[in-house]
């Protein structure tokens, strides 16, 4: 069975039996005839519906059997290898179950000329229960009798329908386990300090590239024009999102730590400037002995220090300046709300949240694709 070309190839022994009254003879014996006598007998024009390629085996001679019974019954057996189309639903790949058909139909004789039946129902088919396929296990099969309505008439059709379940163990070892381990590898960066930029960046980029390679390799076994969103694509997408999220988490934590370090420098500088200005005010107060001048300078200094919280209700300010002042205060509040006060807590919470969410997503994923 090929998921790439959506067909299956089977080698079958097709045995057809019918009765021709013109071939009745006396006695209780049966004769096995040379296959070349087929050209002298009437045979049903059976063909395989939706067959792409078929051929009869002819080594060392044509693999055909003609057996004639005294009551005019003829047994005609052929050994055929055929490739038949099988439309597949790959939305649950590789946990999918495919149903394929082998359909036999009369090409030129309609139901007024011939009637097709299975000789013993499901027991007419042998060998399927013994099949050992590399990726599939035969779950069940059954036979059907149907009719095909065409422009030229109604034709008898025999259907063998079989259900195949894909073996998922190969994909678990080949794709699911490596992708899960890559996600867990990306969590190692949470235990590395924020100052170790090369180590954390190397882990993040390496896991992203490895996951991308794994995703490309998983699609190579399927058709490029296949538009299905498969179960394995969903899982690989989830794993890629967690790995990329771990890389983004470090970028956010590292940027926040840099912002915190940068904020400490202006605060220290502002404190030093305040001390110098206070000293200047005291010196000026001693020299000039002016209380009024001292108060004005203190007031000016306080305004410079608390520039982030400017009073926008000053009557001397113009309307557009008041609007600008209000917007600036709003922006400072919004930025302060989203500012991470302690960047080390980002890694601390990530150690718990990333594995927890990944486990929850896995529970929902496997429950949905295995039981629904």
Helices (DSSP H) in the chain: which residue ranges? 169-171, 177-186, 197-219, 231-288, 291-305, 319-338, 344-371
- Note down the domain range covering 137: 7-166
The answer to whether residue 272 is domain-embedded is no
Confidence (pTM): 0.74
Q: What local confidence, expressed as pLDDT, does residue 22 receive?
A: 92
The answer to whether residue 84 is domain-embedded is yes
Q: What local confidence, expressed as pLDDT, does residue 300 receive?
A: 42
Is the distance from CB of 159 to CB of 143 less than 8 angstroms? yes
Same-domain status, 129 and 14: yes
Same-domain status, 104 and 145: yes
Distance (Å, whole) CA 221 – CA 224: 9
Same-domain status, 58 and 161: yes
Same-domain status, 136 and 192: no
The answer to whether residue 204 is domain-embedded is yes
Last residue of a domain, one of 166, 200, 216: 166
The domain that holds 135 is classified in CATH as: 2.70.170.10
CA nearest to 180, candidates 205, 153, 207, 200: 207
Q: What is the largest CA-CA distance in the chain?
A: 149
Q: What local confidence, expressed as pLDDT, does residue 249 receive?
A: 92
The domain that holds 174 is classified in CATH as: 1.20.58.390
In the chain (372 residues long), the average pLDDT of successive 10-residue segments reads: 90 95 90 88 94 92 92 95 94 93 95 94 90 90 94 94 93 95 94 89 94 88 69 95 94 83 60 55 53 48 44 58 75 62 79 96 95 86
**Dihedral through CA 295, CA 301, CA 306, CA 311, nearest 10?**
50
Same-domain status, 108 and 224: no
Is the distance from CB of 139 to CB of 154 less than 8 angstroms? no
Same-domain status, 358 and 222: yes
**Dihedral through CA 94, CA 97, CA 98, CA 99, nearest 10?**
180
Residue 2 sits at φ, ψ, to 5 deg, of -115, 120
């Amino acid at each position: 069975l090929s998921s790439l070309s959506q067909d299956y190839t089977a080698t079958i022994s097709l045995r057809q039996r019918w009765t021709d009254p013109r071939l009745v003879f006396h006695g209780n014996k049966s004769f096995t005839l040379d296959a070349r006598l087929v050209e002298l007998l009437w045979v049903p024009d059976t063909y395989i519906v939706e067959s792409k390629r078929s051929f009869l085996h002819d080594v060392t001679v044509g693999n055909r059997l003609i057996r004639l019974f005294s009551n005019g019954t003829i047994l005609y057996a052929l050994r055929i290898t055929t490739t038949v189309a099988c439309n597949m639903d790959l939305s649950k790949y590789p946990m999918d179950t495919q149903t394929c058909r082998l359909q036999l139909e009369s090409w030129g004789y309609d139901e007024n000329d011939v009637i097709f039946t299975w000789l013993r129902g499901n027991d007419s088919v042998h060998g399927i229960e013994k099949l050992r396929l590399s990726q599939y296990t035969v779950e069940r099969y059954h036979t059907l009798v149907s009719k095909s309505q065409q422009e030229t008439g109604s034709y008898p059709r025999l259907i063998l329908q079989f259900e195949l379940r894909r073996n998922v163990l190969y994909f678990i070892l080949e794709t699911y386990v490596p992708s899960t381990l890559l996600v867990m590898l990306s969590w190692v960066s949470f235990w590395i300090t924020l100052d170790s930029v090369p180590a954390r960046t190397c882990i993040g980029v390496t896991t992203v590239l490895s996951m991308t390679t794994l995703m490309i390799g998983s699609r190579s076994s399927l058709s490029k024009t296949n538009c299905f969103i498969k179960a394995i694509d969903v899982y690989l997408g989830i794993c890629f999102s967690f790995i990329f999220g771990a890389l983004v988490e470090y970028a956010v934590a590292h940027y926040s730590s840099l912002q915190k370090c940068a904020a400490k420098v202006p605060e220290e500088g502002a404190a030093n400037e305040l001390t110098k200005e206070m000293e200047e005010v005291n010196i000026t107060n001693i020299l000039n002995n002016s209380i009024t001048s001292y108060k004005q300078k203190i007031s000016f200094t306080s305004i410079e220090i608390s520039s982030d919280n400017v009073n926008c209700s000053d009557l001397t300010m113009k309307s557009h300046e008041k609007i600008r002042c209000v917007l600036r205060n709003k922006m400072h509040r919004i930025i302060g709300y989203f500012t991470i006060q302690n960047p080390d807590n980002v890694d601390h919470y990530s150690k718990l949240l990333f594995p927890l969410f990944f486990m929850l997503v896995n529970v929902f994923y496997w429950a949905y694709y295995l039981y629904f």
